[in-house]
Amino acid sequence: DAKTTQPPSMDCAEGRAANLPCNHSTISGNEYVYWYRQIHSQGPQYIIHGLKNNETNEMASLIITEDRKSSTLILPHATLRDTAVYYCIVRQHPNTGNQFYFGTGTSLTVIP
Amino acid sequence: DVKVTQSSRYLVKRTGEKVFLECVQDMDHENMFWYRQDPGLGLRLIYFSYDVKMKEKGDIPEGYSVSREKKERFSLILESASTNQTSMYLCASSLISASPQETQYFGPGTRLLVL
């Protein structure tokens, strides 16, 4: 399984960009990088996913390095409501099951 | 928008009781999943289902069973609740199977306390 490594916690000033890093050095060629977040006492919320190109949607941008060994989730203008635990997940090959392996994530605190 | 709902947000049960947790999704997804989440352990898959009446064990199926009689509904059953089953239970659903682009959508969770 490709594993991910994230810092346990980060702070970000409100209105600034939040850049959340993730290392996935053992990722294989057909594995996607997914980002979810979980606000306290709620279910995880899908944010974005990508394979090798940078991706952007209404919530965030995902930058994946050329060697695919790391990625960064960018929240362009963080708000207090973005305070949550952010999970970087590498999607297992489907033949081994359809589950997502959530690690312990990064606890992002947006500071007023 | 995909909507996944769970029957209860909070539940308190006694040891030995049979507990039913219900999950409903409204997007005609084939796949449905039950996870539990515990501090320091992340999310762990209990069971999943890729079709009506089909089920597969996840990483920690012991002490649990599931039922999928209709496509939109996936039930988790604790046959005889124990205190070590106190946890947050999360249901998820997804549309595409056997594809690395599968995206799972989660319900709000049920926090179960077994006394």
Asked if A94's CB is within 8 angstroms of B105's CB, the reply is: no
Q: What is the pLDDT of residues B76-101, one digit of tens each?
A: 999 999 999 999 999 999 886 666 67
Q: How far are the Cα atoms of A5, A74, B1 from residue B10, in angstroms, in the given order?
A: 32, 33, 24
Tokens read off for A99 = 């589950």
Residue A20: which H helix or E strand, with range? strand A18-23
Please report the DSSP string for B1-18 in residue order.
---EEES-SEEEE-TT--
Measured in angstroms, the CA of A34 and the nearest CA of chain B are apart by 8
Q: Among all residues of chain A, which has the CA nearest to that of B30?
A: A98
Radius of gyration of chain A (CA): 13
Q: Please indicate whether residue A63 or residue A96 has the higher confidence score (pLDDT).
A: A63
DSSP letters for B46-114:
EEEESSTT--EE-S--TTEEEEEEETTEEEEEESS--GGG-EEEEEEEES--S-TT---EE---EEEEE
Q: SS3 for B41?
A: coil
Q: Are B105 and B4 in contact (CB under 8 A)?
A: yes
For chain B, say whether A57 makes contact (Cβ under 8 Å): no
In chain A, count of helices (H) and strands (E)? 0, 9
The predicted pLDDT at position B88 comes to 96
pLDDT at A92: 64
pLDDT in tens, A38-95: 998 889 999 999 988 899 999 999 999 999 999 999 999 999 999 999 999 987 655 4
Specify which residues B105 forms β-bridges with.
B93
Interchain contact, B45 vs A97, CB within 8 Å: yes
